[in-house]
Structure 1
Amino acid sequence: MPISMRRKHGGSVKPALMHAGDTQTEEQQQQRQQEQDAELAQQAQELPQMEDEDDISDSAAEEVVKKSRRPKENAFTQQKLKAVHPILTPNTVIPLLLVIAVIFIPIGAAMLYGSNKVEELVIDYSRCEQLASSDYWSEIPDKYVDYHFKDTLNLKPQWKLATNDSYIYNGYDEERNICQVQFEIPDDIGPHVYYFYRIRGFYPNHRRYAISFSEDQLNGKDASTSDIKDTVGQNCQPLSIDDSTGKKYYPCGLIANSMFNDTFTPLAAVNGTDDDYPMYREGIAWETNKKRFKKTKYNLDDITPPPNWVKMYPEGYNETNVPDIQHWYEFQNWMAPAAFSLFSKMILRNDDDVLKKGVYQTDVGLHWPVLGFNGHKYIYLSTRSVIGGKNSFLGVSWIVGGDR
């Protein structure tokens, strides 16, 4: 075969002399090419026929298009939104950090200054029954006292254990004890003086505990047994019904049953201090609680006190002693479970008068035990500043953020 013919059909130059058994003639290649072309032409002619046989209508084709999951053609679904990719260099980062520092550090310093202006006194009275004498006043161990005042204390806080048979809990032996606490206020503080109780080691954020109440009962509604017992999620289980009487607990649930019930008196002047310092219950709860807590509409024959309230209501409820939760501010505060195991609840306040320098006494009725679960309870007196109570964490966080 001539070399020129091989170049035309094969595309590359090969030697002209090749073995007859290893090659094909030009005529055979042309014949094979013609057969392939004819086969392709036949397949092309059959395509429309196949569509006719399958009877694919235009409506079916539209149906296929409608079911397509392809996202719409826009910048968001196709992930083509514009973006900025700044190049961080010392010339851009350093000025930015300086601006952040100029803003954050002064704000943090102001918060820290405001926190340090708050004056407070914290006394742990958890072991008053075990450590205080009933015959004389004794100093409270330093590890149970913490304070922050402008001036130093000249007199360490003292305590004494007393009893009162006619106390609010009907003379129960274990409910008669009173922890009397005397402490010094070294400088004038207030107005806006707040009296809290503080608890540590109690976990009100436990899921079963936190949802064990009836919102309908708190709203003053005549909630049925199924409402307080079988509602999915928030319900009063396991304290919804008294099995022995079939009556509904009011208020039902674990939160109400475990209500903190130590009692506190306002500050009485002692040791030469001239005037008592009055404190009041009004205003210790959120104003919005007025919409949530309403007087109950239950029939007295249908309800009974929770198990832990038996000593307060030994004969059950009657027309005069059913708790009016609309005006029971201590109960309203307790029904807002804290998020952590260390928390404070306001019990008394005075927003008008200055607490003069001197020595004062408060009496605490001991009714809520904490030693069984290694807990602690505290007397907590505090003023406030523009940022609220004493809390240095926020100010330190801003300073650290600006310093970074």
Structure 2
Amino acid sequence: MSQTQATHTDSIEQDSNSGEKDKKAKTRKPAIGIIFAPIGGLLLWASSQVQEIVIDYSTCAKDAPSEDAGEGFVVMDPKKVTSSFTRANETIQPPMWKKSTSNVTVNRGVELNTTICSITFNIPEDLKPPVLFYYRLTNFYQNHRRYVKSLDSDQLKGTAKSAGAIGSGSCDPLRLDKSGKPYYPCGLIANSLFNDTFHEPILLNLKSGDAPDRSNKTYPMYEKGIAWPSDKALYGPTKYKVGEIAVPPNWQERWPNGYTDENPPPNLAEDEKFQVWMRTAGLPAFSKLALRNDNLTMERGNYQVDIELNFPVTVYGGTKSLVITTTTVMGGKNPFLGIAYVVVGGICVVLGALFTVTHLIKPRKLGDHTYLTWGDQPTTGMSTGRDIRGVSNA
């Protein structure tokens, strides 16, 4: 019996120690909340310091007035525009748009009749560098399993893989053309390359000194530096001869006669726009960097951006937008992380407060033996009908 009592005593002591640990764990909840909530507040503040404007131009070709018909700029639907500036001015001119058609020269003499979407908008304050220009797509599932796998890494690095190797490779369903030539580059990702072209923003009606007339000024932005350095190592100049490869279906408008010595395939090692696109997004709504300026301030004023429309989105129910934005030490505008920290911190503080109030109103002694249930259970001897060794029945 003494052995049983010793065992019970050890168990009670262990429960008491466990209670002390629970007590310490409860006291940590408010502390976690006190730590997380300020961090979340700082993250939200950093996100609010990012200045940006987002303009949805998905339906420009259909809804914007036509300059060719003698129409001018009209105000865009406010639902298509979102902006975030630290000194927003409600009296500024809202974004406007129009469309026109023009012959655009691409790839050494190839002319395309292209619809141009012209958008004017106001930047109410100077944007400090780096100033980034993104395009944003929605409802485009780059994370689809079949889409993500549809490429050939060796071909992208420059290896001249044979038609047989490509035909049995991972570029399905865009491996070979009807004549049996491998597409370069093969696969769905490359074929669906985002091909709208953004012209550099133009600052309108800029007054020069004391001159009464006003002129325009281009804010330079560049494609160089938009791809990750780690991505650049994945691409190289191709070793194919121009007669050995075929142009992907969606690229044939720019290479109507196929790849030739006069109009060769692109050098993927230097095509950062292509490299950015090939890094597939994990969500159906995503932004990809198109242009940037790391040195010059973007002066406040009215700007115009011209966009060559080539990439359809309404056919699959998606949208496309231009995004001009700045960054902070925490990156771009993304309040999610800050909100998550604030929510977790708030929950911890609330739970800690509830536990404290409960303990004050209806306290419960930690390690109280009266709450234990093991002492109420029948012993082995009672449950089996056998006597406990060393104990005689009365």
Bigger relative contact order (CA 8 A; separation at least 6): 2
TM score, norm. by length of structure 2: 0.77
Residue of structure 2 equivalent to 1:9: none
Match of 2:45 among 72, 88, 113: 113
Match of 1:261 among 178, 192, 195: 195
Q: Distance in 2 between matches of 1:114 and 1:142?
A: 26
Q: Distance in 1 between matches of 2:300 and 2:127?
A: 8
CA displacement, residues 331-390 of structure 1 (integer Å, 9 cap, x when unaligned)? 001111111110111110011111111011111000011111111000111100111000
Letter paired with 1:127: T
Q: Distance in 2 between matches of 1:88 and 1:347?
A: 58
Question: Quick check: 1:212 aligned with 2:150?
Answer: yes
Residue of structure 1 equivalent to 2:177: 242
Q: Distance in 1 between matches of 2:232 and 2:118?
A: 34
Shift of 1:247: 0.8
Percent identity, please. Answer: 39
CA displacement, residues 147-204 of structure 1 (integer Å, 9 cap, x when unaligned)? 101222511001110111244384545xx10000110000111211100111011111
Q: Distance in 1 between matches of 2:219 and 2:324?
A: 13
Q: Distance in 1 between matches of 2:103 and 2:197?
A: 15
Q: Distance in 1 between matches of 2:79 and 2:185?
A: 38
Letter paired with 2:126: D
The 3-state SS of whatever aligns with 1:330 is: helix
Residue of structure 1 equivalent to 2:85: 149
Q: Distance in 1 between matches of 2:253 and 2:36?
A: 54
Q: CA RMSD in A?
A: 1.9
Residue of structure 2 equivalent to 1:282: 224
TM alignment of 1:4-403, pairs within 5 A: 86-87=18-19, 91-134=23-66, 135-150=71-86, 151-153=88-90, 154-168=92-106, 170-173=110-113, 176-231=114-169, 235-243=170-178, 245-272=179-206, 275-320=217-262, 321-403=264-346
Q: Contact between 2:167 and 2:182, CA under 8 Å: does it hold in 1?
A: no
Q: Contact between 2:94 and 2:121, CA under 8 Å: does it hold in 1?
A: yes
Q: Distance in 2 between matches of 1:215 and 1:126?
A: 32
Number of aligned residues: 315
Shift of 1:230: 1.8
The 3-state SS of whatever aligns with 2:37 is: helix
Gaps of 5+ in 2: 1-15, 208-215, 348-394
Over 3 Å counting, the alpha-carbon distance change for 1:380 and 1:237 in structure 2 is same
Q: Distance in 2 between matches of 1:344 and 1:335?
A: 13
Shift of 1:89: 7.4
Over 3 Å counting, the alpha-carbon distance change for 1:85 and 1:159 in structure 2 is farther
TM score, norm. by length of structure 1: 0.75
Shift of 1:90: 7.3
The 3-state SS of whatever aligns with 1:165 is: strand
The 3-state SS of whatever aligns with 1:191 is: coil
Q: Distance in 1 between matches of 2:288 and 2:233?
A: 20
Over 3 Å counting, the alpha-carbon distance change for 1:242 and 1:103 in structure 2 is same
Q: Contact between 2:143 and 2:282, CA under 8 Å: does it hold in 1?
A: yes
The 3-state SS of whatever aligns with 2:217 is: coil
Residue of structure 2 equivalent to 1:68: none
Q: Distance in 1 between matches of 2:27 and 2:54?
A: 45
